Amino acid sequence: MRIEIKGLNKVYPNGNHAIKDVNMTIESGMFGLLGPNGAGKSTLMRILVTLMKPSSGQVLVNGLDLMKDRKEIRSMLGYLPQDFRFFTKLKTYEFLDYAARLAGLTNGKSRREIVEKMLEEVGLYEARNRFANNLSGGMKRRLGIAQALIGDPKLIIVDEPTTGLDPEERIRFRNLLTRVSDKDVVIILSTHIVGDISSTCTDMALMNKGILSYKGSPEHLIELARNNVWKITATETEYFEIQEKYPIISSIPSEEGWEVQVVSKEINGYLGERIEPNLEHAYVNFMENELNQKWIEI
């Protein structure tokens, strides 16, 4: 699987330029999409799942044009929208069955098996006869994931799939995706939980204000942040100064005062040491230090 995005732009009817000239290629595997609120992640995804037309540009999915070959592309899709709360009056099982039918599972018997298996995998088997509207927020999300994965889609696009999931479920979900991503499948997920990406994605992109500002592996992003992450031990007064000067990742009160993690090139005399960056650090570092410098691509 291979998705090529060329010169993609989206201007909403109200003049909002949500995607600005995005170019990238996504290969098989799990692909993370990171970016602050309003960056254009959902917009990009909605274009990819044919809910919306781009204003200009081209998207090729395995060489198929998104604008022309919707029928084929749609039959490869699995999609979980960011908002997934309001259902028609259908039961959990029925909703998934509906999705399975539309995903092209025409054989009744095998469809039933697949649906039941999927319900078990997302932990909703017990709740299969409850109305979907009455499920808890997290359970709805799980149902959303289930319907996105049903029917073996080749291109899975999930918009913030893990919001609202408890930690145990999150791990379950990651494993589920990882299992799927073994095959020749593209999974694009957007998230604010950086941990989701670091633990699963081989490739990722970072978007900001509609612009694709980073595309590459998470490791490389972390590499960029090396030497820029510090742990400072600060007194109460210093702590307030630091707050003014540097983006703080975390701060823990300690006996001497505070233990603060910051992202910065230097720490100008505060008492501190460099620490090993993680993806979260890398993200903040990137947003703070790299963004206004130059376009980086590996």
Applying CB under 5 A, the residues found at the interface with Mg ion are 41-42, 82
Residue 202 binding result from ligand ATP, Mg ion, other proteins, none, given CB thresholds of 5 to 8 Å by partner type = none
State the nearest-atom distance from the C-beta of 162 to other proteins, in Å.
Answer: 17
Q: Which is nearer to other proteins, 176 or 194 (CB)?
A: 176
Give Cα 160 to chain centroid, integer Å. 5
Let me know: does 163 contact 141? Beta carbons within 8 Å. yes
For residues 70 and 57, give the distance between their C-alpha atoms in angstroms, rounded to a whole number. 16
The burial of 63, by beta-carbon neighbours within 10 Å (0-12 exposed, 13-18 middle, 19 or more buried), is given as: exposed
Residue 270 binding result from Mg ion, other proteins, ligand ATP, none, given CB thresholds of 5 to 8 Å by partner type = none
Let me know: does 278 contact 231? Beta carbons within 8 Å. no
Residue 43 binding result from other proteins, ligand ATP, Mg ion, none, given CB thresholds of 5 to 8 Å by partner type = ligand ATP
For residues 272 and 274, give the distance between their C-alpha atoms in angstroms, rounded to a whole number. 7
State the nearest-atom distance from the C-beta of 44 to ligand ATP, in Å.
Answer: 7
CA distance from start to end of the chain: 20
Q: Which is nearer to ligand ATP, 38 or 216 (CB)?
A: 38
Residue 94 binding result from ligand ATP, Mg ion, other proteins, none, given CB thresholds of 5 to 8 Å by partner type = other proteins
In a 13 Å sphere around the CA of 97, the CA atoms on its Cβ side amount to 16
* Among 17, 20, 74, 220, interactor with other proteins by CB under 8 A: 74
Look up tokens 């233990």; give the residue.
259
**Token duo for residue 115:** 């649906």
State the nearest-atom distance from the C-beta of 249 to ligand ATP, in Å.
Answer: 20
Residue span 96-125 as binding mask against other proteins, x where in contact by CB under 8 A, dash where not: --xx-xxxx-x-------------------
Q: Tell me which residue has its CB nearest to Mg ion.
A: 42
Residue span 127-166 as binding mask against other proteins, x where in contact by CB under 8 A, dash where not: -----------------x--xx------------------
Q: Is 293 in the site for ligand ATP (CB under 6 A)?
A: no
Look up tokens 């979900």; give the residue.
173
State the nearest-atom distance from the C-beta of 156 to ligand ATP, in Å.
Answer: 17
Choices 41-49, 72-80, 197-205, 281-289 (CB under 6 A): range interacting with ligand ATP: 41-49
**61: part of which helix (H) or strand (E)?**
strand 56-61
For residues 134 and 95, give the distance between their C-alpha atoms in angstroms, rounded to a whole number. 13
For residues 206 and 283, give the distance between their C-alpha atoms in angstroms, rounded to a whole number. 9
State the nearest-atom distance from the C-beta of 226 to ligand ATP, in Å.
Answer: 27
Let me know: does 185 contact 37? Beta carbons within 8 Å. no
* Among 8, 30, 31, 42, interactor with ligand ATP by CB under 6 A: 42
State the nearest-atom distance from the C-beta of 81 to Mg ion, in Å.
Answer: 9
Amino acid at 179: R
Residue 35 binding result from other proteins, Mg ion, ligand ATP, none, given CB thresholds of 5 to 8 Å by partner type = ligand ATP
